Amino acid sequence: MSDTADEQHVEAWLIGACQALGLNVTAAEDDFFEAGGTSLSAMKLIARVEETFGEDALPPDDLFAESSLRALASAIERNRCRTAPLAGS
């Protein structure tokens, strides 16, 4: 899968996860906090991201620094690649 396809997959997952938290999001351009996200829902989202994509896939600093879903998907992809175990390890 290409990087773009991976990010689009993560974006779609994030939209669903945010909707499950009761946020009014429909597109990757939507902003987590502008859609009604709070610090509590942010922690819930981070926990869901870690369950799905691995530990530290979305550190709180990344979420609070730039909170569009597209930016969050990019951060998740970047952090997944950085923390993924090496093949054969």
The terminus-to-terminus CA distance of the chain in angstroms comes to 22
Tokens of 60: 């709180």
What is the model's pLDDT at position 2? 56
4 vs 52, higher pLDDT? 52
Q: What is the mean pLDDT of residues 14-39?
A: 97
What is the model's pLDDT at position 80? 85
What is the model's pLDDT at position 64? 94
Asked whether residue 1 carries a pLDDT value surpassing 60, the answer given is no
Count CB-CB contacts under 10 A for residue 85. 7
CA distance linking residue 34 with residue 24, whole number of Å: 9
Asked whether residue 20 carries a pLDDT value surpassing 70, the answer given is yes
- Record the pTM: 0.85
